[in-house]
């Protein structure tokens, strides 16, 4: 729980999920919901080395493929349409408005819900104040630590290196051209001087 002043959130924000390599995930901020939820496809509960795990796929738009995480617990959740669903709960690190914390997130299919993620009261309590009349109040956090962030940084670095090489190549070519022009001028000067000397000799005869 944050000890500083609570940040203001609108009714929808962009959240980063570093562990999943997903950035700027569209999220609905819903104080009417107790638990938080993330859209997951092809959910499969498995047992790995004596631990309960959940395998699932994130939507392509979230920037990640297959995922396997430890199951924190199984929880009965009542959805917005009134149906009860037994969902796996995972603990995920979230980053929003510069605040980084771990929250319990239920996994479910959110097709047709408009937002791939929902933030409920448990994840918001003590950290944020909600202004339902605003949207996207907090700026996306820098994502250098995420997989997609590293990829972007790598591309940017490669682009800068390429631009630097191109600039250096142009300078070298420019120097060579200038050198050729100077050499040409010197040669022309020598030829002119030679002609003048020859003309002077012939004139003195």
Whole domain around residue 118: which residue ranges?
A: 7-143
Give CA–CA dist 92/137, Å, rounded.
22
**4-53, pLDDT tens digit by residue?**
678 999 999 999 999 998 889 999 999 999 999 999 999 999 999 999 99
Position 147 scores a pLDDT of: 46
Is 195 part of a structural domain of the chain?
no
Q: How many domains does the chain have?
A: 1
Contact 37, 109 (CB under 8 A): no
How much is the pTM? 0.66
Beta strands in the chain (DSSP E): 7-9, 12-17, 22-29, 36-39, 41-48, 51-57, 66-70, 73-78, 84-96, 99-108, 117-119, 128-130
In a domain? residue 74: yes
CATH number at residue 138: 2.40.70.10
- pLDDT, one tens digit per residue, over 143-190 is 444 444 544 555 556 666 666 666 666 666 666 666 666 666 666 666
**Is 76 a member of any domain?**
yes
57-97 pLDDT per residue, tens: 887 666 667 899 999 999 999 887 788 999 999 999 999 99
Residue 189 lies inside a defined structural domain of this protein: no
Task: Write the pLDDT tens digit of every residue in 104-135.
Answer: 999 999 887 889 999 999 999 999 999 999 99
Asked if residue 22 is part of any domain, the answer here is yes
The verdict on residue 171 lying in a domain is: no
Residue 157 domain-assigned? no
């Amino acid at each position: 729980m944050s000890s500083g002043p609570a940040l203001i959130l609108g009714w929808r924000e962009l959240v980063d999920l570093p562990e999943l390599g997903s950035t700027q995930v569209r999220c609905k901020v819903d104080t009417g919901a107790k638990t938080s939820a993330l859209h997951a496809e092809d959910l499969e509960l498995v047992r790995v080395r004596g631990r309960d795990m959940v395998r699932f796929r994130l939507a392509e738009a979230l920037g990640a493929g297959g995922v396997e995480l430890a199951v924190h617990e199984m929880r009965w959740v009542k959805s917005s349409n009134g149906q009860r669903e037994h969902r796996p709960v995972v603990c995920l690190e979230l980053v929003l408005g510069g605040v980084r914390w771990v929250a319990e997130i239920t996994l479910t299919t959110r097709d047709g819900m408009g937002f791939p993620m929902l933030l409920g009261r448990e994840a918001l309590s003590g950290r944020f104040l909600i202004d339902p009349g605003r949207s996207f109040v907090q700026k996306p956090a820098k994502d250098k630590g995420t997989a997609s962030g590293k990829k972007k940084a790598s591309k940017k670095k490669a682009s800068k290196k390429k631009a630097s090489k191109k600039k250096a190549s142009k300078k070298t070519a420019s120097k060579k051209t200038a050198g050729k022009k100077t050499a040409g001028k010197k040669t022309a000067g020598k030829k002119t001087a030679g002609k003048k000397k020859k003309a002077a000799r012939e004139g003195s005869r």
